[in-house]
Structure formats: structure tokens, C-alpha cells
Structure 1
Amino acid sequence: MESMPLLADNDQEEKSKLGNLLKANVVFLVFHLSVNIHEPLVTQYLYNRFSDEVFGNSTVHSINKTSTCYLNESDPGYILQEKVQERTSNFQTVLTAISSSLLLISCMFLGSYSDFLGRRFLFIVPLIGEFLRYSTLTIVICWNLDLRYMYIGEVLEGISGGYHGVILASYAYTADNTPPNNSRTVGIAVIDFTTCLSSAISQLSTGYFIKDTGFLYPCLTASSPMLLSVIIVVVLLPETINTERRSQYPSPVKAVKNVFGFFFSKDFGPKRSLFWLSTGAYFLIYFNKGGIYVVEYLFQMNQPFCWGPELIGYFIMAGSISRQLLGIPVIKLFHLCTSDPVICIITSLIRAGAYVLESLADTNFMLFAVVLPTGIASPLLPGVRAIMSRMAPTEMQGSLFAVVGLMNVLSGGLGVTAFNEMYDATVKIFRGFTFLVCAACHLLAMVFIVVFLCLSHRTIAINTPTNVVINDSGQ
């Protein structure tokens, strides 16, 4: 347990701006309603298209059936089913590689320049990019075009910042409107749990929507809230960046230095090692979260579960409700007796246990049993983000969350590739192997946080403000 806070308040404003936070969460809720319809739809649509190609018209898998799943390894359909999984997984990897390579650049500059151009700018650009990506998929589904046209949408997402840009904007906006204490942890956690609320609302209906109508109408439905979120930002969301700073934005080189200065600049002194440790832990945690979701869908859609869209919707909804109901109370409860790093250590251990249980699951009950520990462990990522945010100066929150955005893109992209390849290699040997790897990553992240906690006790300078120059004046 920490004997001192990571940063003193330094006469900062003590109250959160609840009105601004509420409006930002409305934007994020609408945005994630769209995301949570779209993302399961993509995997299931690709699986359906490749099933049509591999099995042919005589044994095509109708989307109106709950599931077609071959359990007997001697059945010719079983071999073809494995081929469908492999092709779906590989295509998802290609899509991720296209967008991730561009997102690494766009998120870095979006975050850094938002400290000067404003947070509304940081919301609008990636939201428009996501809308164009969803529209591209709608066109592919409507006219049954070659799947490679989906590459266009991934390029547009990469250039604009896409999903990760909106996440970056939400966290930076929350940091602007909360003081650097436990309120910021809760504020950042609320952003994550807004995701859970939207998922709970949309996932169950999405499964039935796909089953009853096919893929086109759900895809159109996903695009509409994305456009609505752009309108809400333009009309309702107040700017939090001082207009005087908009004429002082740095050169591209200086913007890059602002992002990486947390790790290399002498201005941060002994905090640099703490930034390295917290970022390393965040990378490992998001490597799991951002990379395993495609494998989870494939894991559920094939033996021994053979789930269709409805059961997948039930499972995602249950997980979302669990995180929504348990997340904030767990944070509040732990804040009564301990600090954010200790919360992260405990929840990381719980999450590792949940992945072990998922790896061993062979019945629906065992898979649904993962929901409870996952909900209890949900404060993990918000806690790490809050720790990093409190160590950064107020005027560099955009640059700090650009680091978070880069970690999201890099770790998520590598995770999708790594877990897809692992799943392909081990699916016939031990189908749950990838989840054991996730558990190991969480244990390693826990070690990083333990070292962070020990160093933060011993580093006296961590409790003093950091003065960092972020313009081109050279002063």
C-alpha cells in the first residue's frame, strides 16, 4: 500500500466538471453502440462468406440457422470447417495489419496536437473515419463484393485514427475535466464501463438481428449511431483547451518529442522509469484485450460449443453487465483501503485466473463462469491509465494519451496476429492454449506493477510537479 500519492494536487481544481463528463459519456455510449453491433458482425460475416466458398452451394451454411458445427474429426465437413476458421483468422489478421500500420502514426499526432487544436478536433476526425469504414463494409455486403474492398475501410480508419482515436479523445477529455486524484480513476473507469453498458444494450439484439435479417441491415444500423456521435460532438460537446494555445501548436518534430518525452526527457527525471514500467504493464494487458477477441469468437462458434449469433450475444451481454455492475463498486471499495497500483495487482491476478478457466472450458456453464471474475477484474485497465495520467502535466494529457493510443494500436495489432497464429497452430492440439498465454501475460504485467509500486515508494521526486516546455520557444 502506498504511503504517498503519485502526484500532489498542486492546487489543481478539486472538483470534476460533471456536465462535461456526462456529455462525453453520451458521445462514447452512442459510439460504442455502433462498435458493438459492427465488430461481432464482421467476424461472423467473414466466417459466413468463407463457409460459402469452402463448402459450396450444396452444403452452404445458412445464416438463419443457429449453427452448423462438425464434431466428428473423420467427417469431411470437419476438415473444411477447420479451413474456414483458418481463412477467417488470416483475413482478420490482414485487416488489422493494414489499419494498425497507419494508426501508429495518426494516433501519435492526433494526441499531441489535440493539446493545442482542442479535444473536439480529436473526437471528430476519428469518428468520421470510423463512419467511412462502416459504410465500406455496408457496400461490400449489399452488393456481395470481393472482400478485399474492405481494405479501403481499414486505410480510412488508419489515416483518421479510427476506434483508437476516439478512445484517446475520451480519456484525454476525462483527464481535462477531473483533478489528479481518485476522481480521475473513477472518471476513466466510467468511460470503460460506458462501453460495457452499450455492449449490454446492443449485443443480444445484434445476435437476433443477424439471425433474422442477415448482415446488411445490422451493418446499416451500426453506421447510423456513428454518424449521430459526430453530430453530438459538433453540437453539444464543449471545448476544454484554451483558445490562446491553438496558435502555439508545435512542429511535427516537437510533437513527436512531446509524446516520447515521458520516457526519454530529462525533465521527467526519476519518473521516466515509472512511465516505462506502467507502459510495459499496459502493453501486456492490452495485448490480451485487443488481440484475443477474434479467437474468442472462433472458439465459441466451433466445437465443443457450436454457438450461433444468439448465444454469442448472450455471452457478450453477460460480460458487459458484469463489468458494468461490478467495476465502479470494486474501485470505490478498494479506494477505501488501498491505492491504484495495489488495485491493479489484485485485479491482474483475478483476470489471469479467469483466462485459465476459459482455456479449460468445455461446457457452456464453464464458459459463462468466466463472466464473474472478468467483471471483478474490470478496473485493471482504468487503474493503469489513471496512474499514467496523474504522472503527466496537465498541459500534456493529449500527448500522454497519445502514448496510450500507440500502445493500444501496437499491442492490439500484434495481439490479433499472435493469437490468430497461435490458435491456428494449436486448435487441433489444445483449443484453449491462447487463453493460457493471456494468463501468463497478466502475471507478467502484475510483476511490472509490483516493481512500479516499490520504486514509487523510494522515489521522493515523484511527489513534485514536473515543468515541461511543450512549444517551440526553446524556453
Structure 2
Amino acid sequence: MEKQPLLNKEPPATSPTKADSAPKAPDKTRYGTLLFVNIVTCLWTLAQHLHSPVVTQYLYVRVKEEVYPNGTEPEKHNVTCFQNSSTEGFKLQEKAQQVTNAMQMQFSLSKTGCELVVNLLLGSFSDYVGRRVLFMVPTIGYFCKNMILTSIIFWNLDLKFYYVGEILEGMTGGLSLFKIACYACVSDNTPAKGVRTLGMIAVDVTIAVTDASISSVTGVFIQNTGFFYPSLASALMTVVVMVTIMCILSDNVKRKGASCVNFLTGLKHVVSPFVSEGSKRRKALFWLGITSYSIFTLSGSTGDIGSLWQLNYPLCWSSEMIGYYSMASTMFNQVLSIPLARLLQSCVSDPVIAVWSCVVTIASNVLQAFSYTNWMMYGVAIVGSLSVSVGGIIRSVLSQMTPPDRQGSLMASFSVIGIVSVVLGEPMFSFIYRSTVLVMRGASFLVSAGGHLLSTVIIIVFAVLSSGKNKQEVTSSSTPQIPEEEGVPARRHVQGSE
């Protein structure tokens, strides 16, 4: 155990060391920065959720134009659909779903390779170069992708041009890199306990609420104006995001006086909590946390099969109806999310809250798998409203076990796991949907529920290991030594010191 004189021994103020230049965890919450994070998150989400429904529904329309012979297509796109399975139109309708789903999967996979490397690189470097880079780079890439889609719609170009937009987004990190910036900023500006979990959840709530708010508007927008103007509006919104970041964000969280790490050092910072830092129990907790996160994310990476399922038999919803449902169900959940999390925090630990949310998610998936009426889908929304962001809780719990100068590296590891989960999950659920759409449409949701069940079991093990008599050991090993730099002896970081 270290003695007090060692902790108080500091180098002279006239000769600061690089170890001392590492950022410290704040003693109190910096609400102004948290507000900024949620503002830019809201603006980015507006752009994204104007773009995503346009892609899905525009692809479906273009595919149907190629699949349906003259005279067999329903009168209005996405408004009526064939319900008699014995008709030729019904079979062509199923084929159009399968082709659209396959194209979406190919577009998604085309960007993920570059996205994986960029997130790992810039995420780990952000502890040295600051957070502004993490905000700006993906925003520029997303603007380019939006403009490419807008051009395809306006000039009716070949859909293969959209691959260019996906690859550009991958090369600039995409949404995953933008989220790293948001979560790292939350970690930089909150104390380790309590508020940090709510801050992580707040980012997820902002994304979900903005998505819900724009969903119905997007549906009406598409139905009344077509696809061009919503796509153009999405591109213009990314410009607003860029201007906001440049004018407001003060980049004061980078490690002053430290030279930028190379790629191998950055990679080491990402993996070190899992292989080399802290006690065996602490490393086991990191592995359990990241494994539960990866399985939960994998199980939720169903892509757009929910929208395709709602567009067709047995629901046959219009794009406007899908928008209204998405808005109502998401708003209902997110309005309760932070108050529910705060209430549960007063009674149980964060890992137990994650277990509760996993169980609720499982129940929601099972109910959706067997839903065939509008009222049953409303039940899915009610059950789902009782969950809290599992990803946000796991990020916060592991963030509390990580020193302040490694927050960007930790969020990069979450981002990499999230990308890999999407790469594996979307093709898997796409294959399951295509294989079962004529037999059991809800099979994909049952598989998702099974994955969430496995994640629940892992989180329970995490909660047991991190509670009671084990808690002190985990906390005492949660502040690994800052590595030696240029001959400066390593010294232990003191959480919350200034």
C-alpha cells in the first residue's frame, strides 16, 4: 500500500513531466460540455435519420420497378401490398424484399473494413490529439455520402454509385467514430461515479428521442415530396453539424505536452486493460463486460428487417404508419429511460440495472416474433419502454475502472466491438430473414432474444464478481500506472486529483 508522502510528492512546477500532463478526472460535472455533446448528437441524428429511411425505401422502390412486370405491381409503393400468398404478385413481393435486404447488407459491408481501422486509429489517438478531430472527420464523410445519394436520386443513377458513399463513410469512421467522440467527452467531463452512467445513457436517449421525433416527419416528407428533398435536407444538416463543432467546441481535453503515439502504441492502449493492467479479477471483469456488450450488440444488429417486416404481410403498414409507430414507441421508452435509471440507481447497482434491461428486451423480442396485429405491436412498445440503455451502462461501468487518459482508447475498443458485431450480425439476420420469411417471419426476433439471454447471463456473472467483498479489490486496481515516457518514472494516477 502506498504511503501518503509518496502521493504528495510532485515535481517542481517549473519542470512539468509528460506523466503530469495526463488529464485528471473532474471533481464535478461540467454541464455545459455535456449540453454541447447532446446538441451535436441531436443534429447528427437528424441528418442520419433523414438519410436512412430514404435509402431503405428508395432501394425498395427501385428494386420493385425491376422485379414487377407491368400490371402486377401494387398501385402505390409501400401503401398496399399483396396478402394472398398464392398469387404471383405476392411471390414477387417476397422476392423484392429479399433483393433489397441483400443490397442493404452489401452496402453495409463495403464500408466496415475501413471503418474498423479508422475507429481504432483515431479513437486511441484522441487522448493525445483531442476530441474535435473525432467530431469533424466522420461528419465530413457523412456529408459526402449524403450528396452521393442525393445525386443518385436526382439523376436516377445506377445504384452501384452508392458504394462510393459507403466507402467514403468507412474511411472517415462513420457514426461509430462520432459516438466515440460523444462518449469520450462524457467521460472527460463527469466524475467516475453515478452521473457518468446517466451521461452515457443521456447520449443514447438523445439519439433515440431525435430519431423518434424525426421518424414520422420523414415518413410524411417522403410520401409528400418523394426521396430527393429529404436526402438533400440530410446533407444540409451535416453542414450545420460541422459549423456547430467548429464554432462551439473548445478542445481542452487532449494530453498537453505529449507527443502523438504511433499505431502500435495506440493499439496497446486499447487492449492493455484486457491483457496486462490490474489484477486478474479486474481483467476478468473487463473481459466479461466487453463480451456481454458484444453479444448484446450482435443480437440487436438486425438491420432493416423490422421495417421490411412491417411493410408487408401481415401488417402491411405504410411508410407513414411505420414513422408514427417508431416515434411513439421510442418516445415512450426514452421519456422513462433516465428517470427509471435514476430510480433504479437508488436501489441497485449499475450491472443489476443492465440485467433488468436485458430481461425486458428479451420479452419485447419474443412478443414481436409472434405479433400479427397492430395491438400486439403496441404491446411490444409498452414492454420495451421499461428498458434502459444496456450499452450505456456497460460503457460507464468499464469507464469507471479506466484512468482519465485512456478514455478515448476504451471507447475505441467499444467501437471496434460494435462494428464487428454489426458486420457479423446484419448478414446473419439477413440470412435468417430471407430463409424464414415464407415459413416463420418472426424467427429473426427469436434468435435476437436468445442472444440477449446469453448476454444477460454474462452480466449476472459480472455483477457477482464486482459486488460486495470483491468491490474494494476491483476499485483499488482500477487506476493503473501511467507508462514511463522519455525517462520519467511511472507514478500511480490518483483518481479525481487536481
Measured against the shorter chain, the TM-score band is over 0.9
Structure 1, residues 184-209: CA drift from partner, whole Å, max 9, x if none? 01011110111122112211111011
Change (3 A) 1:471 1:242: farther
Q: Could you tell me how far apart the structure 1 residues matched to 2:172 and 2:254 are?
A: 24
Paired position in structure 2 for 1:34: 47
Separation of aligned partners in 2, 1:305 and 1:38: 24
Residues 212-245 of structure 1: per-residue CA shift (max 9 Å, x gap): 1111111111111111111101101122324624
Distance 1:268 1:122 in 2: 32
Deviations 1:50-103 (A, max 9, x none): 0010014544556x5552311111100011111101101111111111111211
68 and 243 in structure 1: CA distance in 2 versus 1, 3 angstrom threshold: same
1:23 aligned residue (36, 40, 53)? 36
- Residues 1:55 and 1:198: Cα distance change in structure 2 (over 3 Å): same
Counterpart AA for 2:173:
G
Shift of 1:41: 1.7
Matched, 1:280 2:294: no
Structure 2 equivalent of residue 49 of structure 1: 62
2:207 corresponds in structure 1 to: 195
Of 407, 411, 423, which aligns to 2:433? 423
Is this contact kept in 2: 1:66–1:310, CA < 8 A?
no
Deviation at 1:336, TM superposition (A): 1.0
The percentage of aligned residue pairs carrying the same residue is 34
The answer as to whether partners of 2:72 and 2:89 remain within 8 angstroms in 1 is no
Secondary structure at 2:26 match in 1: coil
For residues 224 and 360 of structure 1, what CA distance do their matches in structure 2 show? 40
* 1:462 and 2:498 correspond: no
User: Is the counterpart of residue 299 in structure 1 residue 312 in structure 2?
Assistant: no
**SS in structure 2 opposite 1:16?**
coil
Aligned to 2:148: 136
Task: Please state whether the residue corresponding to 1:370 is helix, strand or coil.
Answer: helix
Change (3 A) 1:470 1:47: farther
Verify the 8 A CA contact 1:176 1:240 in the aligned structure 2.
no
Judge conservation of contact 1:127–1:162 (CA < 8 Å) in 2: yes
Aligned length: 462
1: CA distance between counterparts of 2:254 and 2:331?
Answer: 38
Is 1:50–1:87's contact at 8 Å kept on the other side of the alignment?
A: yes
Q: Which residue of 2 aligns with 1:98?
A: 110
Q: Tell me by how many angstroms 1:130 deviates.
A: 1.1
Structure 1 residues 470 and 225: alpha-carbon distance in aligned structure 2, compared to 1, 3 A threshold? farther
1:34 and 1:466 map into 2 onto residues whose CA distance is: 39
How many Å separate the matches in 2 of 1:61 and 1:215?
A: 19
Matches within 5 A, 1:54-453: 54-60=67-73, 65-242=77-254, 244-245=256-257, 247-267=258-278, 269-289=280-300, 291-453=301-463
User: Structure 1 residue 360: deviation in Å?
Assistant: 0.5
**Cα distance, 1:288 vs structure 2:** 2.8
Instruction: Give, in whole Å, the separation in 1 of the partners of 2:448 and 2:392.
Output: 18
Tell me if structure 2 keeps the 8 A contact 1:274–1:456. Answer: yes
Tell me, yes or no, if the aligned pair for 1:284 and 1:411 is still in contact at 8 Å.
yes
- Structure 1 CA distance, aligned partners of 2:244 and 2:411? 22
Q: Aligned partners of 2:259 and 2:320: how far apart in 1?
A: 52
Q: Distance in 2 between matches of 1:296 and 1:161?
A: 26
Q: Which letter does structure 2 place at the counterpart of 1:350?
A: V
**Would you say the 8 A contact 2:30–2:189 is kept in 1?**
yes
Aligned partners of 2:35, 2:25: CA distance in 1, in Å?
A: 21
CA distances 1:439-467 after superposition (whole Å, capped 9, x unpaired) = 11111111111111122233643111422
Distance 1:239 1:455 in 2: 37
| Deviation, structure 1 residue 413 | 2.0
Q: Is the 8 A contact 2:401 2:475 kept in 1?
A: no
Shift of 1:260: 1.2
Bigger mean CA offset, 150-159 vs 51-60: 51-60
CA distance in 1, matches of 2:484, 2:70: 62
Q: Are the counterparts in 2 of residues 210 and 218 from structure 1 also a CA contact under 8 Å?
A: yes
* Counterparts of 1:459 and 1:18, CA distance in 2: 29
| TM-score with structure 1 setting the length | 0.94
CA gap of 1:369–1:146, structure 2 versus 1, over 3 A, is same
Does the 8 Å contact 1:112/1:402 carry over to 2? yes
Alpha-carbon contact 1:48-1:61 (below 8 Å) kept: no
Give the Cα separation in 2 of the matches to 1:137 and 1:86: 22
**Deviation for aligned residue 1:388:** 1.6
Alpha carbons of structure 1 residues 43 and 250: separation in structure 2 relative to 1, 3 Å: same
Change in 2 beyond 3 A, CA 1:277/1:35: same
Instruction: Name the counterpart of 2:494.
Output: none
Shift in Å, 1:248: 1.6
**Contact 2:369/2:441 (<8 A) preserved:** yes
Q: CA deviation at 1:473?
A: 4.1
What's the secondary structure of 1:344's corresponding residue? Answer: helix
Q: Aligned in 2, Cα 1:308/1:454: closer, same or farther, shift over 3 Å?
A: same
- CA distance in 1 between counterparts of 2:168 and 2:110 reads 10
Give the 3 Å change call, closer, same or farther, for CA 373–238 of structure 1 in structure 2. farther
Question: Letter of the aligned partner of 2:464 in structure 1?
Answer: C
Q: Distance in 1 between matches of 2:59 and 2:69?
A: 15
Contact 2:131–2:254 (CA<8 Å) still a contact in 1? Answer: no
* Deviant stretches of 4+, over 6 Å: none
Deviations along 1:315-351, whole A, 9 cap, x unmatched?
1101221122110011011011111000001110011
Structure 1: which 5+ residue stretches go unaligned?
1-10
Contact 1:319 1:375 in 2 (8 A): yes
Bigger fraction of residues in helix: 1
The Cα of 1:270 is off from its aligned counterpart by 2.9
Contact residue 129 and residue 160 of structure 1 kept, 8 A: yes
Normalising by structure 2, report the TM-score: 0.89
Deviates more, 1:280-289 or 1:210-219: 280-289
Partner SS for 2:304: helix
